[in-house]
Amino acid sequence: MKIGVFDSGIGGLSVVNAINKELPDLEVVYINDPDNLPYGTKTKQQLLDLVIPRIADLIDQGCWAVVIACNTVTTTIIADLRRRFDVPLIGLEPMIKPAVKLTKTKTIAVCATRATLNSQRYRDLKKEFAVGVTVLEPDCSDWAILIEDNALNQMKIESTISPLLDQGADVIVLGCTHYHWIEEDIVAIANKHRVQVMQPEKAVVEHLKRVLEQLS
């Protein structure tokens, strides 16, 4: 069985690696769009114009399902994509609900693109699951490009993460797949304060398994 994975840049490769590890019998086709980075600054219409032909390409290649390994695309336009395409689309979105369940300080942090943080879906997640919880939203607007260029250093990461810990965050949500490539650096900073770092790869793989069971 063939499935597709789409992301704007290299971030989605971490999702591909997780799928290959857990579901080695699958054929995974990966498409990204590095020429149009960053997606986090794009309008909804710009995202639709960029993403629709790439999802169509994956379907034309015979993919039974497509993982949208991009929080920006998922939170902004996945409803439009699902209306357009018949195959299952599995999205990634910030893990607000599980983070709220874990926090003891009632303060969490979400590292995400500006487009994700400004999306209606993200606002709905906070409204539904984060009542009474402080949600910190640091400026990570240039992280994706810096990660693509291998130019995001430890000092810059620490200057963003440390203030979150000082404000009492005990759970940090990685709301962009690009950030998975610096997860170890973030964990190294967070572990000094016994802070948990969350990313959705395991949850996405489990969701994919359920979808594939329904398709088989």
**Is residue 70 annotated as a catalytic residue, yes or no?**
yes
Q: How many CA atoms lie within 13 A of 191 on its CB side?
A: 6
CA 177 to chain centre: 4
Alpha-carbon gap, residue 166 to 40, rounded angstroms: 27
**Is residue 176 annotated as a catalytic residue, yes or no?**
yes
Catalytic residue among 63, 70, 111, 140: 70
Whether the CB-CB separation of 52 and 80 falls below 8 Å is answered with no
Alpha-carbon gap, residue 198 to 174, rounded angstroms: 6
Alpha-carbon gap, residue 4 to 101, rounded angstroms: 31
- H/E stretch holding 29: strand 27-31
Neighbouring-strand partners of residue 66: 4, 89
Q: Which two tokens stand for residue 28?
A: 């995974």
* Mutual angle of helices 154-166 and 183-190, in 10-degree steps: 40
Catalytic residue among 63, 111, 140, 176: 176
Backbone angles phi, psi at 51, to 5 degrees: -85, -40
Alpha-carbon gap, residue 181 to 189, rounded angstroms: 15
Q: How many CB atoms lie within 10 A of CB 1?
A: 13
Q: Could you give the residue numbers annotated as active site?
A: 70, 176
